[in-house]
Amino acid sequence: MSTLDVKTAMAPSATERELTLGEAIREALAEEMRRDPRVVLMGEDVAEAGTVFKVLTGLSAEFGTDRVIDTPISEAGFTGLAIGAAMTGLRPVVDIMFGDFIALVMDQMANQAAKVHYMSGGKWKVPLVMRTTLGATRRSAAQHSQSLHAWFSHVPGLKVVLPSTPYDAKGLLKSAIRDENPVVFFEDKMMYKLKGAIPAEEYTIPLGVADIKRSGDDITLVATSSMVQVALGAAKMLQEIGVGAEVIDPRTTWPLDEERLIESVKKTSRAIVIDEGYARYGATAEIASVIAEGAFHYLDQPVKRIGAMHVPIPFSPPLEDVTVPTEQMVFEAARKMCGKS
Amino acid sequence: MTKQKSVIEKTPASAAEPDKYLRMYQQMMSIRIFEEQVNDLYTRALMPGLAHLYIGEEAIAVGICSALRPDDYITSTHRGHGHCLAKGASPDRMFAELLGKEAGYCRGKGGSMHIADPATGNLGANAIVGGSAGIATGAAFSAKRLGNGRVAVCFFGEGALGQGLLYETMNLAQLWKLPVIYVCENNTYNEYTHYSETTAGDVLARPKAFGIQAERVDGQDVRAVYATANAVVERARGGNGPAFLLCDTYRYRGHHVGDVSREYYRSKQEEQKWVSERDPIKLFSDWLIAHKLATAGQLQTMNAEVKSTIDAAVQFALNAPYPDPLEVQQDVYA
């Protein structure tokens, strides 16, 4: 992936540095832990090992193993524990190594964390962050490759964050930690090495604000997480045939910045929604529906959705590669919609 | 129904705390009369939905909560009215919640199975069997990390013994020496199924396998429950880790208020035997009178006072307004 495509909303400053997405996440966690002693991290191999992805390397040395806590392989157990801890004065950040493992924590997240505030008439709060991963093409097969953020996006009471750049990852994670609600933060495991500019000074990004990653007048490409890079690549190809594509990243699937998505499509009259989750009943379905309802009279044709193929993620590279949306697929779809041969 | 050896037998059965015992009697009677009123409201079609009555199990909630500080935590279950009352909830706001009224503890959004109240350390009743084991253990984690000396009690029925979360959290609690007490109320039936049909092996061997201190207690003997709770709560508060109490008891009524024809899963003779021989309130009142801590007349007066408080609470709830439908979207997010 080219680093040149990573647009940040910031003007370049003298103090700006380049960090990878993984480093940006580590920096956000470290800053929040320095700022607020209530923040604790827990998960499998998060301490000295710094997680399997090495995202947390160095945090246990700075904050100690009573704030960067290795847990047993017990996702439901430590997630449930973190919910109780969040209700009673701490601000836990739990690490679920692979997004596929959220199946193990669904009761705790969907029936407990999401509902505690509402069921108690607004009295108890659950300021919890769950960091987990999504994304295929790591040759990890069906139980380590899924993008299941739509599951959580379906449940009232949860917020769901999908950063696509180092800049966004840092600013959004800091906001998630300061949020009074349970927030699930999905990181594309293939993007941890992606580099981008990060200002030296502190900043946060509010949850629920979409970001235009590239402006264009002919077609809107709504893309999330890993698919933002794919959409930017397709936009570059489209530029070469005279099509101006606008790439907009909702950054959170809930809250969803419906207004900015609709505004973009009102301008371009065409939209493709690209997301690495399954298209069926997925994030693309919801976003396409929002656009269809909100910009119906401006649309030239139906909103198109591109998501993961509706199969379990296979192991063999030539099989796995065809399950994930690519720049070429997005380019072809956009070219057809814009009537370019 | 065999009498269990428990800590009480190692402790002198002194009358050192007569006021506390009378308070415990009053709380048990409050729960009993509260639940009878719930059944009455259901029967008269004045209560939406269902409720799961705690009648017969009062000694456990009262014995345990009497050993707790006001700022200690509990998590409760779908059969949770007794836990909430014993931890200090007010009957009028309880009834208001059961009737879906705005004055209820959860502004009508929780109902019978979800009473929660930060003021009394009640983290919430939970309608997922075993679902609160994580929350209780996490409250104990906070207590230890923040050094506030609090203890968390996780109430659950023996039906939760089949849930994996319980064992995941017991492992964490013992690993990290958390101040949490797991209180298993074995009321003999998982809904409509005798627990012997669902539970393999020795229940106490399960917590013991983690190295957790485990005690079996006669759940009909409030003094035994209280004495055992005192011992394990103070042990936990002192930083010595979790405990597991297995309390043998019996659910006098059905799984819920609508479960009235029960002969297909248990006999009337079995029910009657518990009611006539092992009633926790009868056993305790006999003991109080025998040890001259109260006269029958004093207890009757207390019963009448409790009854009038509960009656007033029911009236309060019946007269209270429903929430405005516009509140439905409030408090989804903090």
pLDDT of residue A15: 77
Looking at beta carbons, which residues of chain A come within 8 Å of B78? Answer: none
Residue B2 lies in a domain: no
Partner-chain residue, chosen from A66, A76, A88, that has the shortest CB–CB distance to B142: A88
Residue A256 has pLDDT above 80, yes or no: yes
pLDDT of residue B115: 97
Q: Which two tokens stand for residue B105?
A: 């503890």
Residue A136's pLDDT band (cuts 50, 70, 90): very high
Tell me, yes or no, if B273 comes closer than 8 A to chain A by beta carbon: no
CA distance B68 to B86: 10
Residue A341's pLDDT band (cuts 50, 70, 90): confident
Pairing between β-strand A68-70 and β-strand A39-43 as defined by DSSP bridges = parallel
The SS3 call for residue B124 is: strand
Average pLDDT for A118-127: 98
pLDDT of residue B18: 87
Which CATH number belongs to the domain containing residue B117 in this structure? 3.40.50.970
Among chain A residues, the shortest Cα distance to B101 is held by A121
pLDDT of residue B12: 45
Q: Name which of B126, B148, B181, B333 to mutate to probe chain A: the one with the most chain A Cβ atoms within 10 A of its Cβ.
A: B333
Residue B115 lies in a domain: yes
pLDDT of residue B130: 97
pLDDT of residue A88: 98
- The model's pLDDT over B22-38, given as tens digits with 9 standing for 90+, comes to 999 999 999 999 999 99
pLDDT of residue B230: 97
Whole-complex ipTM: 0.94
Structural domain total, chain B: 1
Q: A333 CA to chain B: closest CA distance, Å?
A: 38
CB contact at 8 A, B319 and B261: no
Residue A171 has pLDDT above 50, yes or no: yes
Partner-chain residue, chosen from A107, A121, A127, that has the shortest CB–CB distance to B109: A121
CB contact at 8 A, A213 and A249: yes
Residue A298 has pLDDT above 90, yes or no: yes
- The model's pLDDT over B242-282, given as tens digits with 9 standing for 90+, comes to 999 999 999 999 999 999 999 999 999 999 999 999 999 99
CB contact at 8 A, A207 and A252: yes
Residue B1 lies in a domain: no
Q: Look up the domain containing B269 and give its range.
A: 17-256+265-320
CA distances to A25, A41, B170 from A130, rounded to whole Å, are 13, 10, 22
Residue B197 lies in a domain: yes
pLDDT of residue A297: 98
Average pLDDT for A34-52: 96
Domains observed in chain A = 18-198 (3.40.50.970), 211-337 (3.40.50.920)
CA distance B318 to B102: 11
User: With an 8 Å Cβ cutoff, are B123 and A87 in contact?
Assistant: yes
Residue A4 has pLDDT above 90, yes or no: no
Residue B285 lies in a domain: yes
CA distances to A240, A260, B164, B276 from A79, rounded to whole Å, are 48, 34, 13, 44
Closest CA to B146 of A86, A97, A114: A86
Residue B9 lies in a domain: no
Q: A205 CA to chain B: closest CA distance, Å?
A: 18
* Average confidence (pLDDT) per 10 residues, chain B, 334 residues: 45 65 98 98 96 98 98 98 98 98 98 98 97 98 98 98 98 98 98 96 98 98 98 98 98 96 96 97 98 97 98 98 97 98
* Mean pLDDT, all residues of chain A: 95
CA distance B321 to A57: 56
- The residue with tokens 């997680």 is A51
Residue A315 has pLDDT above 80, yes or no: yes
Residue A1's pLDDT band (cuts 50, 70, 90): very low
Closest CA to B97 of B22, B18, B41: B41
